[in-house]
Structure 1
Amino acid sequence: MTMSEPTAPGEDATIAQLEEEGDVAADYLEGLLDIADIDGDLSLDVRAGRAYVSVENEDGGSLAPLSDPDTVQALQELTRLAVQNKTGRFSRLILDIGGSRDARRSQLESLVDRAVARLDEGASQASLPAMSSYERKLVHDIVADRGLVSESYGEGADRHTVIRRA
C-alpha cells in the first residue's frame, strides 16, 4: 500500500482515501482483537465524508467490555493515530463497537429531551456537558430536528453545547 497525498484537517478526503482509512483501521483493529482474544466481524463504510468501521459479533457479550463509550472513544483515537501514521493524513474515522454509537445517540437524545424540558419550564437556554466533536455534531442534528438552535462554546475538553429556542 502506498502513502496517499496528505490531507490537512480541514480538507475533505476522497472516497478512495476514506476507503484506505477503513482498510488500515480494520487491519489495526483486527490486531487488537487478536491480542485480546475477542472475536469480531468488521464492516467498513464511507458516510458523510468519514470512514466508519463497525465491530460486531453474534455473541455481543464478548464485545461488552469494549463497547463502553469511554473505551470506544479511546480505541477510536488510537485507531485514528494508527491510520494517520500509515497514511500520513489526519483521520476523522468513526468507530462503532457492538452498537455503541446507536446506544450513545439514544443517550444524547435523552439528554437533549431533558434540556428541552428545562426550556419548556422557562429557562432561556440549557447547557449540556462537555463532549467530543462527534457527539456535539449528533447533538446539533438532534436539536435541529426538534426545531431548536444550538451552539458550541469553550475550548478543548471543555467544549460543550448550549441549546435555546430559535
Structure 2
Amino acid sequence: MTEGTTSPAAEGVDTLSRLEQEGEIAADYLEGLLDIADLDGDIDMDVEADRAAVSIISDSDRDLQKLVGRDGEVLEALQELTRLAVHRETGDRSRLMLDIGGYRAKKRTELAELGAKAADEVKSTGAPVKLDPMTPFERKVVHDAVAAAGLRSESEGEEPQRFVVVLPA
C-alpha cells in the first residue's frame, strides 16, 4: 500500500469507531435531556447497517410515550436534535437512528407487514398500489419490504405528503 492510504479493514474499523463515537455523543446528549425532563430511562447504543443506533428504554413506557409523541412526531424531532448535537461535536453529518421505548422497532414490523401486503395485492391484481403519506423512515422500511417481495416501489409527492407506490414487476 502507498503511504497515506488505509486498508479496507482499517477503514471498516475507522467507520465503526466513528459510529461508536456518534453513539457516545448522542447518549450523553440524550441523558442530559432526560435529566432536564426528569424522566427515567436507560440508553442503549449499537451500530446497525452503517449507522449509529441509540435507544432509550425504561420500565415506565408511560414516561417515554411523552418523548415519542403523536405518530412519533416528538421522536423525529428529538432524533434531529440529537443528530445536530453529534454534528456540532464531530463536524460530520450524522445518520444516527433514535428509538424510544421500542416505538421504531414496533413501527418497523408494522410497516414491513404493510409493504408485504401491498406487494401481494400488486402481484394478484397487476395494478400499482399507492400508500398513505409517510416519513422518510417509514418509506424506507416499506421500500425494503417490497424489494424483499420481489417487486419495485418508488416515492412520489412532496414532503410531508410523500408516499410510496408499489409497482408491478
Q: TM-score, normalised by structure 1?
A: 0.81
CA distance in 2, matches of 1:132, 1:48: 19
* Residue of structure 1 in register with 2:52 after alignment: 51
Q: How far off its partner does 1:84 sit?
A: 0.6
* Residue of structure 1 in register with 2:95 after alignment: 92
Could you tell which deviates more after superposition, 112-121 or 146-155? 112-121
CA distance in 1, matches of 2:125, 2:64: 43
Q: How far off its partner does 1:58 sit?
A: 1.5
* Residue of structure 2 in register with 1:139 after alignment: 142
Residue 108 of structure 1: which of 86, 111, 117 is its match?
A: 111
Q: Is the Cα contact below 8 Å between 1:25 and 1:53 reproduced in 2? A: yes
Q: How far off its partner does 1:52 sit?
A: 0.1
**Counterpart secondary structure, 1:14:** helix
Q: How far off its partner does 1:59 sit?
A: 1.9
Q: Is the Cα contact below 8 Å between 2:116 and 2:149 reproduced in 1? A: no
The letter of the residue matching 2:168 is: R
CA distance in 2, matches of 1:67, 1:114: 26
Q: How far off its partner does 1:138 sit?
A: 1.0
**Counterpart secondary structure, 2:39:** coil
1:107-142 residue CA offsets vs partner (Å, 9 max, x unmatched):
323533553465367362112233333222211111
CA distance in 1, matches of 2:103, 2:158: 26
Q: How far off its partner does 1:102 sit?
A: 1.6
Residue 122 of structure 1: which of 118, 121, 125 is its match?
A: 125
Q: Which structure's residues are more often helix, by fraction?
A: 2
Q: How far off its partner does 1:76 sit?
A: 0.4
Off by >6 Å, runs of 4+ in structure 1: none
RMSD: 2.2
In structure 2, the gaps of 5 or more residues are 1-11
Q: TM-score, normalised by structure 2?
A: 0.80
Number of positions where the alignment pairs a residue of Structure 1 with one of Structure 2: 155
Equivalent pairs: percent with the same residue?
A: 48
Q: Is the Cα contact below 8 Å between 2:53 and 2:98 reproduced in 1? A: yes
**Counterpart secondary structure, 1:144:** helix
Q: Is the Cα contact below 8 Å between 1:67 and 1:99 reproduced in 2? A: no
